[in-house]
Structure 1
Amino acid sequence: MLKDIREWFLVLLVFGVSAAFGNWLGYDVLPIMAIPGMLLLICVSILGLILEKILPGNVPSVGYIGIIGIIISMPWFPGSSYVVEWTNHINMLALATPILAYAGISIGKNWADFRKLGVRSVIVALMAFLGTFLGSAIIAEIILRVQGII
């Protein structure tokens, strides 16, 4: 388990550094401002990964990570103001970019395995991407109109 935690930490640290760099280039947030929030996100992610391994049941780590993130950012949680302040310096697109790049490399590296899945799998993946994109666009449109930005 300790070996897994070290590996998780190193992978998340690489993503954190690249996301902080992207945050700096794309959104003019100095990496020194993003470090506390990035370290917090790394710790929450590792805690979620650990909980997935030790708790009974079939809950994926992303579920635990989401629950932990929600709980520690609630106003009644001690230190939540710091959590919100630190993570406000991190743009979500800066986080998504290295993760999506890694996913693309992973798929590209295993393209032969991906082809074995068949045409139906490709269609399902494309529909999932399309649904996610359209859902995000619709939500963004509604929120921006409600706020009067567009």
Structure 2
Amino acid sequence: MLKNIQEWVLLLGIFGIVALLGNWIGYDIMVMDAVPGMLLLIAICLAGLLLGKIMPGNIPSVAYVAIVGVLLSMPWIPGSDFIVTYTNEVNLLALATPILAYAGIAIGRSWTDFVKLGWRSIVVAMFVMVGTFLGSALIAEMILRFQGII
């Protein structure tokens, strides 16, 4: 368990540093302003990962991370103002960049497995993406027209 925690801290630390740099370069938020928020987000992630390991059942750790984050940011929880204020300094897209890069590397390492899926899986994936985009656009169009925005 201690080895897992050490690996989590290392990975979350690397993600945090990359996200802080992305936050600074892409959104002009100074690194020192975002460090407290990033440390809070890392602590929330660690708490969720630990809960995922120690709680009975087969619930993914990401669910525990989300639950801990939501509970700590509820207005009636003492200290939630502090958490919300500092985590607002970290842009969501700055967090997504290193995570997506890691996912790309993970897929790249198993490129042979991806190739085994064949060309049909690429066609199916393209249809899924186009369908998702068109479905989202259609829903947005209907909602915006219903509200009278467009």
TM-score interval for Structure 1 and Structure 2 normalised by the shorter chain:
0.7 to 0.9
Partner of 2:106: 106
* SS at structure 1 position matched to 2:59: coil
Aligned-pair CA distance for 1:31: 0.6
Partner of 1:49: 49
* SS at structure 1 position matched to 2:90: coil
Aligned-pair CA distance for 1:106: 1.4
Alignment of 1:118-129 (within 5 A): 118-119=118-119, 121-122=121-122, 125-126=125-126, 129=129
Aligned-pair CA distance for 1:47: 1.0
* Number of residue pairs matched by the alignment: 147
Alignment of 1:1-150 (within 5 A): 1-119=1-119, 121-122=121-122, 125-126=125-126, 129=129
What's the Cα RMSD here?
2.9
Q: Give me the TM-score of the superposition, normalised by structure 2.
A: 0.83
Q: Give me the TM-score of the superposition, normalised by structure 1.
A: 0.83
* SS at structure 1 position matched to 2:50: helix
- 1:88-135 alpha-carbon deviations (Å, 9 max, x no partner): 101000000111111111111210022234456545655565566667
CA distance in 2, matches of 1:44, 1:134: 35
Which sections of structure 2, spanning at least 5 residues, go unmatched? none
Aligned-pair CA distance for 1:58: 1.1
CA 1:102 to 1:50, structure 2 compared with 1: closer, same or farther past 3 Å? same
CA 1:127 to 1:44, structure 2 compared with 1: closer, same or farther past 3 Å? farther
State the percentage of identical aligned residues. Answer: 61
Aligned-pair CA distance for 1:2: 0.7
CA distance in 1, matches of 2:76, 2:22: 32
